[in-house]
Each structure stands twice: as structure tokens, then as C-alpha cells.
Amino acid sequence: MKGSDFLIFFSSSFLNELNQIIENHANSLQKNEVLKFNLGLNKSHGDIIKNRNRAIMEAIRANRLRVEQLKIEIQLEEVSKENLISLFNCSTLNLFALIASIIVLFYDRMDE
């Protein structure tokens, strides 16, 4: 092998090896970019799910508070109805007592 042939062989071999290194590096970079992209998608998806779960929990909490408020309103309505019934019963009894008093007075006057 002549010196010039050796240089051509060496340089072509070196260029092939260098080309292989560059291709390997490019492939590695591409794989890393794909992995970063997938990790970004997974992180975005995780954030979306986390926010969705947070929104669901807030809705559940708000619904529980609303249920408690409705229970209190129902209890107040029941107490109000009971008070009205008691008032009506008292008024009815008072009315009967008044009528009875009038009747007694009427009969007392008739006896005189």
C-alpha cells in the first residue's frame, strides 16, 4: 500500500467512522427529543387529570354544602309549620273559649 493509498484509506475509514458517530449522535438526539415530547405529553395529561380531579372534588364539596343547607331549610320549614299549627290550635281553642264565654253570658242573662 502506498502512502497516498494509506491516506485515502485512512481518510475514508475515518470519514466513515465519523459519519457513523454523527448518525449515532443524531439518532440519540432524536430519541431524546421523542422521550422529552412523550414526557411532556404525560406531564400535560397528568396536569389535566389533576385539575379535573380537583374540579370534581370541589363540585362534590359544593354539593355537600348545598345538601346541608337544604336540610336546614327543610327543618326550618317543619318548625314553621308546627308553629303555625300550634298557633291555629291556640286560636281555635281561644275561639271556642270565647264562644263558650258568650254562650255562658247569654244563658246567665236569660236566667236574670
- The CA-based dihedral angle spanning residues 9, 14, 20, 23, taken in that order and rounded to the nearest 10 degrees: -120
The count of residues in the chain is: 112
| CA 30/CA 22 separation, integer angstroms | 12
What is the predicted pLDDT for the residue at 66?
Answer: 95
Q: Give the model confidence (pLDDT) of 36-86 as tens digits.
A: 887 777 777 778 888 888 999 999 999 999 999 999 999 998 888 888 777
pTM, rounded to two decimals: 0.46
* Residue type present at position 76: L
**Ranges of each domain in the chain:** 1-78
For the chain, the average pLDDT equals 81
